Amino acid sequence: MATQHRHPTGLDAHQPSNRKPSGGSSLTRREMLKRTLLTGGAVAAPCIVPGSVLGLNGTVPPSERILLGGIGIGGRGSFVLQWMLPEKDVQFVAVCDAQRSRREGVKQMVDQHYANKDCKVYGDMREFLASRTDIDAVLIATGDRWHATAAVMAMRAGKDVYSEKPSCMTIAQGQAVVDTAKRYGRVYQTGTQRLSEANFVWCIEAAKSGKLGKVHTARAQISGGEAELSHDWLPAEPEPTKDEVDWDLWLGPCPWRPYNSTYVKGGWRGHYDFHTSCIGEWGAHTFAQAQAGLDMLDTSPVEYEYVNNRTGDGMVTRFANGAKMILHQGGYWKGPCGMRFEGPEGWVSAADWDPKPVVSNPALLADFDKVVADYIARTGRPMNHVRDFFNCVKSRQPTVASPEVMHHSMSTVHAANICMWLKRNMRYDPAKQEFAGDAEANRLRTRAMRAPWMI
C-alpha cells in the first residue's frame, strides 16, 4: 500500500491484491517484483535480496504494507502507537506535532523500534498532509479540540483515520466527520477500544441476546471531575519559539488565548475551549458501550433529566423505546469506564479492572468463551481495536467504531453536557439533530471555529 494513488471515491487506483488485471500480463505485483529481482538482477550482477522485500520469513513486502503517520502524539497517543507498531503489515513513517519535544520523542521511539532513523518529523499538519501523499492512514491523538478538525482534514487529503476520543467537540463536528468519511470514501475508527475487548463484548452480547430478558436500564460511568467548565483564561506567559511550540497551531480551531505552559502540559482539561467535561472524558467510551448493548448505536437518547449537581452524576437519559441510560461517576464498578445492563432476568457489568464480567448469577458466565468466539466468527472482528482498523483499511469495510457510531454516542455526550450547562431538562430529536423548542440549546450544537480551521 506504500505507493498507491487513490481515486477521490477512496478506491485504490492500483489494488495491492492477487486480482489479475483485465488485460496484458497476469503477473501480480509481488510476482513481478520477485521475477525482476531474481532474474534481471542476476544478469547485471550478483546481488543479495533481503527476504523482507519478497515477503519471506513471515514478513510483509513493502507493496502490501499500510503506511501510517501520526498527528499530535503525546502520552495517550504513544500508548496507542506502541499498540500499533508490532503489526507486521503496518509501517509508521512520519509524525506531525506542534510541540518539538513530542515529535522528537515519537521519532526516537519509532526509530528504536525499526532500528533505523527513517521516521520523518513535521511541525505543521498542512505541510504534512500535502507532502506525504504516500501515507495511507493516520493516528490522531491530539487534545480534544483538534480531533474532528484533524480527522476531516486528513480524510480530505485521502487518509484513513484512527482518532482518539472524544472525537468531536460539538454535534455539528460529529456530523462533519460522518459526511467527510462518506464523501471521500475513507475508513475511520474512533478509539473506543472497549468495543473490541472480550469482557465488554460479552456483556453487550448478553444484553442484546435476551439472557437478561428485555433490558430496561443501562448504566454508564463518567469520570471524576465536573461537567461545569471554566470560561476563564490562564494568565499569559512568555510565548516560546515557534519551533519549540507553535502556539497558533496548538490552539487550532479554538478561540485565541494567551500562551500558558499549563495548557500544553495537559492542563487544558476543565476549560470550555478545550474539553468535553467529565461527561465526555469517559462517556465517549461508555455511552457507545451502553448504546451497543441496548442496540441503540444508530441513535441517541431523546430525553435528558437535569440533576442538581456539578457533575451529571445520576442523570437519567431515555431512548425513544423507553430504555434508560443512567450516568454514574461510581458506585457500580471497581475500575474505570464501567457499563452495566439490567433486565428482569438479572444484570451484567464490566469495567477495566475486572478479570471477567461481574454478573448477578455466575451461571450467566458459563458460555463466556463461546459467546465471544461466536461474535468473532459472525462479525469478523478481532479482539484488538487497532487490528480491526487496519483490517478495514484493507477491506474498505466499516470499523466497529465507525463515524456513525462515534457521532451518535458523542451526540449523547454533548446533549448531556448542554442539559447540565443550561440546568434544565432537554428533549432531543436524533434524526433532526436538534433540541425541541429550545433555541438556546440549539445554539450550543456548534461553536465558532477560528480561521482557517473551519470545517
448 in a structural domain: no
46 in a structural domain: no
- Please, are residues 342 and 330 in contact by the beta-carbon 8 Å criterion? no
186 in a structural domain: yes
Residues 301 and 182 in one domain: no
Residues 203 and 183 in one domain: no
Q: Tens digit of pLDDT per residue, the chain (455 long)?
A: 544 434 333 333 333 333 333 333 344 434 444 444 344 444 444 455 455 554 545 678 888 999 999 999 999 999 999 999 999 999 999 999 999 999 999 999 999 999 999 999 999 999 999 999 999 999 999 999 999 999 999 999 999 999 999 999 999 999 999 999 999 999 999 999 999 999 999 999 999 999 999 999 999 999 999 999 999 999 999 999 999 999 999 999 999 999 999 999 999 999 999 999 999 999 999 999 999 999 999 999 999 999 999 999 999 999 999 999 999 999 999 999 999 999 999 999 999 999 999 999 999 999 999 999 999 999 999 999 999 999 999 999 999 999 999 999 999 999 999 999 999 999 999 999 999 999 999 999 999 999 999 99
126 in a structural domain: yes
CA distances from residue 223 to 11, 329, 337, 420 in whole angstroms, order as listed: 40, 6, 8, 15
383 in a structural domain: yes
User: What pLDDT sits at residue 62?
Assistant: 85
pTM assigned to the model: 0.87
Distance between CA atoms of residues 348 and 339, nearest Å: 9
Residues 215 and 336 in one domain: yes
User: What pLDDT sits at residue 55?
Assistant: 56
User: What pLDDT sits at residue 264?
Assistant: 96
Residues 177 and 297 in one domain: no
Distance between CA atoms of residues 157 and 151, nearest Å: 10
- Please, are residues 174 and 421 in contact by the beta-carbon 8 Å criterion? no
* Tally of structural domains, the chain: 2
- Please, are residues 92 and 84 in contact by the beta-carbon 8 Å criterion? yes
Residues 381 and 292 in one domain: yes
Neighbour-count burial for 436-449, b at 16+ CB within 10 Å, e otherwise: eebeebbebbebeb
User: What pLDDT sits at residue 3?
Assistant: 41
Last residue of a domain, one of 190, 218, 239: 190
Residues 201 and 104 in one domain: no
Residue 360 CA to its chain's centroid (Å) = 32
Distance between CA atoms of residues 420 and 416, nearest Å: 6
Residues 197 and 184 in one domain: no
Residues 299 and 344 in one domain: yes
Which three-class secondary structure string do you get for 138-200?
Answer: EEECCCHHHHHHHHHHHHHCCCEEEECCCCCCCHHHHHHHHHHHHHHCCCEEECCHHHHCHHH
Residues 212 and 348 in one domain: yes
* Residues 6 or more apart whose Cβ sits within 8 Å of residue 107: 95, 119, 120, 121
154 in a structural domain: yes
**CATH, residue 88:** 3.40.50.720
Residues 396 and 311 in one domain: yes
- The string of pLDDT tens digits covering residues 74-86 is 999 999 999 999 9
User: What pLDDT sits at residue 37?
Assistant: 38
Beta strands in 17-125 (DSSP E): 66-71, 90-96, 120-122
User: What pLDDT sits at residue 47?
Assistant: 53
427 in a structural domain: yes
* Residues 6 or more apart whose Cβ sits within 8 Å of residue 88: 58, 59, 60
Query: What is the strand order of the sheet 137-140 is part of?
Result: 120-122, 90-96, 66-71, 137-140, 160-163, 188-190
Largest CA distance in the chain: 81
Domain boundaries, position 105: 52-190
Residues 139 and 201 in one domain: no
Distance between CA atoms of residues 390 and 446, nearest Å: 31
Could you give the dihedral angle defined by the CA atoms of residues 276, 281, 282 and 283, in that order, rounded to the nearest 10 degrees? 0
Provide the 10 A C-beta neighbour count for residue 191: 26
**CATH, residue 323:** 3.30.360.10
- Please, are residues 107 and 131 in contact by the beta-carbon 8 Å criterion? no
Residues 202 and 339 in one domain: yes
User: What pLDDT sits at residue 402?
Assistant: 98
35 in a structural domain: no
Q: For the chain, how big is the Rg over CA atoms in Å? A: 24
User: What pLDDT sits at residue 162?
Assistant: 98
Distance between CA atoms of residues 210 and 189, nearest Å: 28
